[in-house]
């Protein structure tokens, strides 16, 4: 089956073509980062309007790069939850129009499941059972993945997501709109032990909380403005975030005895997180899968992977497919 997928859950307009389950023929992403940079974050109305402007050209480019036309497409997949309502609506309406015009089967996809499936695009298929760590600007969650589409919650964020903490930390340190990537670069020349940032303990122990750490950074920057060494502060702040992610992921592996750790979301591209997880995998005897950067951030390739599998199982949605700003991947606790 050849699937065309659309992803517009936040501020990336994306389309991809996937064949035979795991073979990506194209994966086009149009970023709005520069458009939102002056505002210090994504402005929902601006994002949705930009999606309207870009969606047709992005879809056409994805088809062109895959060497196919819409007549060659056999199914459509689109992110319909969770995300910014206005942004989601643009992608879903585009998918509905194509489904109606081409008499094609349509399936809605959960954005977080896409991040989990991004790992399987790199390996040519699933490595299960596994623990999945999804860390992005809006999500920081741990799941036990027993089978495809079969999830149990191990840990959730209590407040700020890890990606949000990275982005706000970069702004507090004056690193511009580069967010987590800019902080990662700055931290490479710093001392991770220079500032004793707090390590938050939660109950349940596999949950995440980064709001207190973010507040500690803001206070440190305010109190040491005259003598601030940005690289050292960035390194210490990044180390605190990464330590929380790694500690809980390793605990989850030990709890479930899963042989594989799947990592997805924009934070998965962080260099310190990758090196620390590889160290723990070598020490603990488990496998860690880390997608390439282009599959860590929001993209339609991961949505195509989920959609292809759902369509192949016979799942379909009608043209009344709705969008949801908030929708948990699962409510089942491990």
Residue 10: band (very low, low, confident or very high) from pLDDT cuts 50, 70, 90: very high
On the 0-12 / 13-18 / 19+ scale of CB atoms within 10 A, 174 is exposed
Neighbour tally for 55: CB within 10 Å:
21
The answer to whether residue 39 scores a pLDDT higher than 80 is yes
Say if residue 144's pLDDT is above 90.
yes
Q: State the pLDDT at residue 326.
A: 95
- Phi, psi angle pair for 275, to nearest 5°: -65, -40
Sorted by where each starts, the structural domains of the chain and their CATH numbers stand as 2-116+295-312 (3.30.420.40), 126-292 (3.30.420.40)
pLDDT of residue 304: 98
> Alpha-carbon distance 224 to 299, whole Å?
39
- pLDDT at position 131 over 90: yes
pLDDT class of 263 with cuts at 50, 70, 90: very high
- pLDDT interval class at 135 (50, 70, 90): very high
**β-pair type (23-31, 12-19):** antiparallel
41 confidence band (pLDDT: 50, 70, 90) = confident
Share of the chain above pLDDT 70, in %: 100
At residue 200 the predicted structure's pLDDT band, cuts being 50, 70 and 90, is confident
Which pLDDT score is estimated for 244?
97
**Secondary structure (3-state) at 156:** coil
Give the chain's mean pLDDT.
96
Instruction: Count Cβ atoms below 10 Å from residue 228 Cβ, excluding itself.
Output: 14
Look at residue 37 in the predicted model and tell me its pLDDT. 83
pLDDT at 178 over 80: no
Average pLDDT over residues 223-243: 96
23 alpha-carbon distance from chain centroid: 20
Three-state DSSP state, 68: coil
Are 162 and 245 a contacting pair, CB within 8 Å?
yes
- State the pLDDT at residue 222: 95
Query: What pLDDT score does 107 carry?
Result: 98
Other beta carbons within 10 angstroms of residue 53's beta carbon come to: 12
Q: Could you tell me the pTM of the whole model?
A: 0.95
Give the model's pLDDT for residue 21: 83
Region 81-89: what's the mean pLDDT? 98
User: Whose structure tokens read 């690193």?
Assistant: 175
What is the average pLDDT across 247-255? 98
| 97, 91 Cβ separation under 8 angstroms | no
- Give the per-residue pLDDT at 94: 98
Q: Determine if the peptide bond prior to 288 is cis (ω within 30°).
A: no
Does pLDDT of 246 surpass 90? yes
Instruction: State how far the Cα of 108 lies from the Cα of 76, in Å rounded to an integer.
Output: 9
pLDDT bracket for residue 176 (50, 70, 90): confident
């Amino acid at each position: 089956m050849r699937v065309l997928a659309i992803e517009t859950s936040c501020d990336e307009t994306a389309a991809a073509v996937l064949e035979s389950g795991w073979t990506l023929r194209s994966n086009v992403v149009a970023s709005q980062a520069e458009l939102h940079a002056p505002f210090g974050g994504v402005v929902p109305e601006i994002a949705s309007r930009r999606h309207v402007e870009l969606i047709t050209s992005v879809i056409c480019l994805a088809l062109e790069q895959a060497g196919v036309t819409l007549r060659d497409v056999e199914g459509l997949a689109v992110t319909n939850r969770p995300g910014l309502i206005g942004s989601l609506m643009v992608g879903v309406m585009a998918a509905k129009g194509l489904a109606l015009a081409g008499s094609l089967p349509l399936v809605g996809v959960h954005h977080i499941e896409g991040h989990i499936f991004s790992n399987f695009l790199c390996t040519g298929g699933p490595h299960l059972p596994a623990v999945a760590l999804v860390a992005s600007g809006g999500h920081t969650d741990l799941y036990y993945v027993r089978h495809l589409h079969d999830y149990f919650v191990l840990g959730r964020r209590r407040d700020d997501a890890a990606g949000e903490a990275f982005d706000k930390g970069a702004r507090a340190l004056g690193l511009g709109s580069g967010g987590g990537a800019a902080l990662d670069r700055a931290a490479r020349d710093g001392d991770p032990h220079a500032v004793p940032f707090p390590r938050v303990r939660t109950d349940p122990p596999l949950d995440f909380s980064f709001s207190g750490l973010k507040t500690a950074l803001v206070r440190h920057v305010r109190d040491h403005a005259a003598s601030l060494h940005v690289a050292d502060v960035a390194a210490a702040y990044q180390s605190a975030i990464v330590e929380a992610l790694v500690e809980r992921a390793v605990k989850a592996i030990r709890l479930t005895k899963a042989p594989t750790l799947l990592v997805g979301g924009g934070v998965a591209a962080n260099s310190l997180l990758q090196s620390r997880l590889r160290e723990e995998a070598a020490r603990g005897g488990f496998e860690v899968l880390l997608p390439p950067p282009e599959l860590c951030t929001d993209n339609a390739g991961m949505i195509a992977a989920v959609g292809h599998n759902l369509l192949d199982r016979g799942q379909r949605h009608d043209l009344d497919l709705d969008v949801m700003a908030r929708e948990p991947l699962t409510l089942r606790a491990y």
